[in-house]
Each structure stands twice: as structure tokens, then as C-alpha cells.
Amino acid sequence: MNKHTSSQAGAMAVVRRGMAKRYRAERRFKAMGILAIGASLLFLALLFASIVGNGYSAFQQTYIQLEVFLDPEAFADTSLAAADYPGMIKQALRRMFPDVSGRGDLRQLYAVVSSGAGFDLHQRVLQGPQLVGQTLQVWVPADDDVDMLVKGHFRGDGAQSEGRLSELQRGWIDRLKTENRIEKRFNRTFFTAGDSREPELAGIRGAVAGSFFTLVVTLVLSFPIGVAAALYLEEFAPQNRWTDLIEVNINNLAAVPSIVFGLLGLAVFLNFFGLPRSAPLVGGLVLTLMTLPTIIIASRAALTSVPPSIREAALGIGASKMQMVLHHVLPLALPGMLTGTIIGMARALGETAPLLMIGMVAFIVDVPGRLTDPSTVLPVQIYLWADSPERAFVERTSAAIMILLAFLIVMNAAAVYLRKKFEKRW
């Protein structure tokens, strides 16, 4: 008895001696976890800071106020639509700086405002034909180099810091500034226009519309097909070598590089079926192929996680297999399926490589209105702008990334919300 007690005391001493070591290990593990999270948060913050820091200025655009005289003579022998609006803008500039002469200087003067300035004027006159004969105070977008200068991106040392603006142009801009004829305004063009070679006229809307149509096609095809495939494989298919083979193949497809799907789409949808190039319809089909495995795998996982007791309960009171699946298993698995689908969609939204293969990388100015219109998508737009030499495209690239990130955040938040909403506890 005594011996037993003493051995118990000995055991306790050993345990106590070991405690400090155990706690140390625990603290070490915790510290490493916190370090890992801290590091990832730091990089995330850096990423966001650099994108937002580069991109926020794209939401503003420099405008220049001009006094445009809508000379009735200019409209004399032509329709309102065909009048020479760029000419009127140039005339207004000449009148504002009467001392500028010589072809070279004049060209520099005209380059201060955007080449699309005449278009704004055009729109205003078309809306109000009675304006002809009057002198208008119009705000027209400045050229992208002027915009950069006004936003301060060209300040600094060295020759590069001047940008492409000449001493002459800088003088005019300073004069416009003192006359309060230069102003930074909210950049509506960025949200309403399609792509353009001129940064101040380029907008994200074409890419957003293209991404939207592409994702609609992807969602409409991949969700029902993916859920149906998962339901069949998980609930109805016999467990044999064929279903094993299918499962292995689906898992493999999920890991296939996306560009391969792009090549497949090029070969099958464009060359064999003759579908239009650069179209959201084809983009959606390709992304469907790419997203399906993800959705099937997530849906199957969601189905397996439905407790067997629910299946037994339904079967036990005489529900058929179909009723069991549709009334009980599917509603319980739906949150998981939706989450998987939205994550797949988010991946599809950010996908570039397969779309390059089917021609969605083209320079497309028009905002697409239909599934078969040529269009591009957000990530491809980012790629195209990042490739452009103009300094003003740098901030537009970052702004487009911000838009893409905003969409991703909205989609992932929707996934969390849907999961919370449909999740049932038992």
C-alpha cells in the first residue's frame, strides 16, 4: 500500500516536471500561428495599400473649361450629327490663347485637351439643337498627360518627371489653373465607357458587362449540371469500378491548368461548332468546363456531410429514394453546394488564360449587349491595360483591379451569407 502511494507521488512529480515543457510547446505553437496570420495579413495589407494607392486617383479626371462658340456657319451646310465638333474645340482653344501661332505650337495646344473632347460637345448639341449660335462654357476632359501632371504624378526630379509635356504646354496649364479653368471631377467615363486607346476615354464598363455575361452563362450551365452530377454520383450510382474511374477523372479535371480548357474551347466551340470568336457565350462555356469539377467535388462533399440518420428517417416512413433526396438531403446540402458554386464562380471571374485562347483578349471598344457580342472580361482588361505604355493606364489598371476585388468580395460575402441563411442545425 505504502509502496503504491509512493509510486503515485513519483508519477505526479514526473508529470509536474513535464508540465513546463508542455506549456512551452503550446505557447510556441500559438506564437507560430499568430506569426503566420500576422504575415499573411501584412502582405494582404501591402497588396491592398499598393493597389488602392495607385488606383484611387483614377476615379477622378481633370477637366478643362472652354468657351466654345457654336458658329451657325459651321452647321450651315451639314447636319447636326456631322458638324466639325473637334474643329470648334480647336477654335475655342485658339481664341483662348491668341498668341500661339505656328503649326507645331498649335498642335501642342490642341493636345492639351482630350481628342474625345469634341464628342462631348457633339452629345450636348444633339440634345439641345437650340444651342447653335450661342457661346457655351463646356468642361471637356483634359489629355491624359495633363491629367497626370495635375494629379501630381509627374512631379519630381529628372527628365522623366516632366512626362511628355513641353515647357509651353506647362505654361498654358499654369495659366488655365490661375483662371480656374482646370478642375478635377469624378471620372464618370471610367464607369460608363468601353475600352479606348486614350486613357482619359477608357472605361471599365465593357469589361464588366463582358464578365457579367460570361459568368451568367457559366452559372446557368455549371450549377445545374454540377449539382445533378454530384447527386447522381453520390446518391444513385452504384459503387463500382466505373464510378471510381469517373471520380478519379473529375478530381483530375479540377487540377488541369486552365489554359488547357481554353485550347479545348478553341478547338471544340470555335473550330468545330463555329461559335463566334471573343463572345461571352464561348467564354462562359469554357469557364463552365473549368468550374464543373470544383462544383461537383464541393457538392459531393456537401451531400456526404448530410447525416445518414436523416436519410434513414425519410426512408423509414416510406419515402422513395427520389423523395428522400429532393425533400431532405438536397435542402441540407444546398448551403455547401452554393458555397462551392460561388467559390467556383469567383475563380471563373478571375480567370484569364483560357479566355485568351478564344479571343477575348481583343481590343474591343463597344460595350457588349448580347451573349454573342465580342467582348472582354475584367482580368483580361487588367492585363491589357497593364500592358499599355501610358502613365495614366497605371492608375486605371489599379482601379480595374479594385473593381475586380470588389466583385470578388461581394461574391464571397454572398457565399457566407447564403451558407448562414440556409444552414440548419440538427
Site for other proteins, rule CB under 8 A = 239, 307, 309-320, 323, 327-328, 332, 424-426
Cβ closer to other proteins: 271 or 323? 323
Instruction: State in angstroms the smallest separation of the CB of 340 from other proteins.
Output: 20
Which residue type, as a one-letter code, is found at position 203? Answer: G
Cβ closer to other proteins: 257 or 307? 307
Cβ closer to other proteins: 315 or 365? 315
Instruction: State in angstroms the smallest separation of the CB of 251 from other proteins.
Output: 21
Instruction: State in angstroms the smallest separation of the CB of 245 from other proteins.
Output: 18
CA-CA distance, 79 to 76, in Å (whole number)? Answer: 8
CA-CA distance, 201 to 393, in Å (whole number)? Answer: 11
Unique residue bearing C-alpha cell 447564403: 418
CA-CA distance, 387 to 381, in Å (whole number)? Answer: 10
Give the closest residue to 200 by CA, choosing from 410, 390, 398, 405: 390
CA-CA distance, 241 to 378, in Å (whole number)? Answer: 42
Instruction: State in angstroms the smallest separation of the CB of 235 from other proteins.
Output: 11
DSSP string for 382-426: HHHHHT---HHHHHHHHHHHHHHHHHHHHHHHHHHHHHHHH----
Instruction: State in angstroms the smallest separation of the CB of 397 from other proteins.
Output: 48
Cβ closer to other proteins: 106 or 310? 310
Residue 135: helix, strand or coil by DSSP? strand
Residue 84: count other Cβ atoms within 10 Å of its Cβ. Answer: 14
Cβ closer to other proteins: 310 or 365? 310
Axis crossing angle, helix 378-386 with helix 205-231, rounded to the nearest 10? 140
CA-CA distance, 20 to 61, in Å (whole number)? Answer: 63
Of how many residues is the chain composed?
426
Cell for 386? 497593364
Give the closest residue to 281 by CA, choosing from 216, 364, 225: 216
Instruction: State in angstroms the smallest separation of the CB of 252 from other proteins.
Output: 25
Instruction: State in angstroms the smallest separation of the CB of 333 from other proteins.
Output: 12
Cβ closer to other proteins: 174 or 312? 312
Instruction: State in angstroms the smallest separation of the CB of 243 from other proteins.
Output: 12
**How far is C-alpha 419 from the geometric centre of its chain's CA atoms?**
23
Instruction: State in angstroms the smallest separation of the CB of 316 from other proteins.
Output: 4
Instruction: State in angstroms the smallest separation of the CB of 32 from other proteins.
Output: 39
Cell for 234? 453520390
Cβ closer to other proteins: 45 or 326? 326
**Residue 320: partners with Cβ closer than 8 Å, 6 or more residues away:** none
Instruction: State in angstroms the smallest separation of the CB of 312 from other proteins.
Output: 6
CA-CA distance, 13 to 93, in Å (whole number)? Answer: 93
Cβ closer to other proteins: 181 or 311? 311
- CA dihedral angle for residue 80, residue 81, residue 83, residue 85, rounded to 10 degrees: 110
For 200, list phi and psi in degrees, rounded to 5: -70, -15
Cβ closer to other proteins: 121 or 314? 314
The answer to whether the CB of 270 falls within 8 A of the CB of 256 is: no
Cβ closer to other proteins: 221 or 315? 315
Own/partner pairs, 20-26, CB within 8 angstroms, 24+ separation: none
CA-CA distance, 258 to 354, in Å (whole number)? Answer: 6
Cβ closer to other proteins: 197 or 327? 327
Cell for 397? 489598371
